[in-house]
Every structure is written in C-alpha cells, then in structure tokens.
Amino acid sequence: MKFWQTVSWSEADQLAEIAQHAEELGFHGILISDHILCPAEMRSRYPYSENGSPPMNADWPHLDCWTAIAAMAAVTTRILFSTIIYILPLRHPIEVAKTTSTLAAISGNRLILGAGVGWMREEFESLGVDFSTRGRRMNEAIAILRRLWTGDFVEHRGEFFHFPPIRIVPTPAKPIPIYTGGSSPIALKRAARMSDGWIGHGNTPEEAMEVLDKLQALRVEAGREHLPFETIVGLTGSSRDDTLKRLEERGMTGAVSYPFQYALGLNSSLKQKIELMERFSKQHIRETVL
C-alpha cells in the first residue's frame, strides 16, 4: 500500500516544509486540489455530500496547483505529486500539455495528472466554457495530451479542439500517468478504458470495495486488466490496517492522510501539521525514515 498526504487548502508559506517532511516520513506522494474561483453565490450542488454543500468555502486558500507543485518539487527528490482533481475540460489541452511537460522535466518525472470533469457550473460559465459538454471535452483532451507528450508533431481536428501540426518541447522522458476521478457509471468507464488509475472523492470502506469491484470488471470488459492501474482512495470511515489490507486485496493501491483542515481545522501551524503526518506515518508507513 502506498500512502499520500493531501495538502489542499494549506498555507502557501508552509508547503515547502510540508513536502520535505512528507518525503522524510515515507509518504509516496502529495495530492493537491484544483479550483480557479469560488462564486459569491453557489448554485451548483456538490455531488459527493448528502446536503450538496462543497467541502470548502470562499475563505479557504486555493493555490494554483501547478505553481504549488513546482515549489514543492524544487525542495524534494523522491516524492510524487498528483492533482486531485484537475478540472481538465475547463482548459485547453495544448496549454495543459505545455505546463505538465515542463513540470515533469523540472521534477524528474514525478508528476501525475489526476483529472476530472468538474461539478461547479459557475466555474465553467465564468470562463466561457460549455458545462454540458465537459465529459466529451475531457475525453478528447486526454487523447490530445497523450499524443502531444510524445514529442511528435500533432495535428488535430476534433469536436472541440482544432489545431495544425504542432510540437510541445520539452517532452516528458516517459508518459505522464493520467488518473481520473468520479464515481458515476460514465466516470468509472472512463477510468477503466482511458486512464492509468482512479482517484476517489472520499469513500467509506464499503463504498470503496464496490467501486474497486466495478473498476476491475470494467477493465476486464475493456481488455485492459493486464495493464498497471493505481487506485487512490481517501477513506471517510475506518483506516485501520486490517481495513486497508482487505481493500488492498480488492485492488486498492493508495490510501490518503486527511487534508489538514479536516483533521486540525483552519490555520493550523506547521508544527501541528508535521505532528499529524508523523502520527499517520507511525501508524501506517512501515518504512518511515525518521
């Protein structure tokens, strides 16, 4: 089992030291979320809570994920970085290809693109992007990214994106993995058929087992069960070792340490965050380097 630390909504001036300590404590990777804005009036319903309320509000800091990853990568050497979840259909894939290729080069290929379709209609409307077509835009963007990352000249004439032969340099030394999110039937099919992994939104152990079984069946159906596939699951219930063991046997490869805001509240100190990571590491990460 691999273990990830979430740094979403963390204070900017603490990020570098958080990343360094996470690496020293044996965490496999760091997760950071993505939103461009928060509207004054939220009409959209968050799909992963019972009352439809999102897990954050307008007062919580939401750093640009790529800038934050670059800062953390600069002070570490081994730990991986993934977005959770980057709203891919909100952006043009050429721009995403350029940014991620550069980050892969800077970090020594320690970048994963964790992508999803998004749920906040206001975000799409503010940027002038059609919310209703985001699923198809996402599929087309994934295909474009994989081609641009090869370093070859690429020409594309699709439903949403059109461009003449172009090339992106630098080119990643190896393909950047794409993990997708979402638990709807369409999202799970996308993960099984187009992705290198799946990232959960916060699941009970029972929900996680059901999703893992569905993903495995869909990957068999797509003829992709033989390919490597990562599943990063943040558990909302028990994270005892016996629970993790049962989930690992069902195909779960990564567990998540809660965002600091959930465990410590807003504006926790760097010392408090480090102590929380140390407790998690001692409980779960056997190869901890102290």
Average pLDDT of span 88-98 = 98
Task: Indicate the angle between helix axes 205-221 and 241-249, nearest 10 degrees.
Answer: 20
Tokens for 255, please give them. 């567990």
In whole angstroms, give the CA distance from residue 257 to residue 241.
13
For the domain made up of 2-284, give the CATH fold.
TIM Barrel (3.20.20)
- Give the Cα separation of 239 and 235 in Å (integer): 7
Question: Locate tokens 């943040």: which residue?
Answer: 234
* The pLDDT value given to residue 165: 98
State the pLDDT at residue 60: 83
Confidence of residue 238 (pLDDT cuts 50, 70, 90): low
| pLDDT given at position 286 | 67
Instruction: Give the C-alpha separation, 46 to 118, whole Å.
Output: 10
Report the first-to-last Cα separation within the chain, whole angstroms: 19
| Residue 150 tokens, joined | 């090869």
Looking at residue 216, its pLDDT comes to 97
213-229 tens-digit pLDDT:
999 999 999 999 999 99
Q: Looking at residue 276, what is its pLDDT?
A: 96
List of residues 6+ apart from 83 with CB closer than 8 A: 31, 32, 33, 34, 65, 69, 112, 113, 114, 115
pLDDT tens per residue across span 58-75 = 788 889 999 999 999 999
The arithmetic mean of pLDDT across residues 177-199, rounded, is 97
Q: Which residue is it, tokens 């009036």?
A: 41
The answer on pLDDT for 288 being more than 50 is: no
| Spatial CB neighbours of 47, under 8 Å, sequence gap ≥ 6 | 119
pTM: 0.94
* Chain-centre distance for alpha carbon 122: 21
List the chain domain ranges: 2-284
- Tens of pLDDT, residues 144-170: 999 999 999 999 999 999 999 999 999
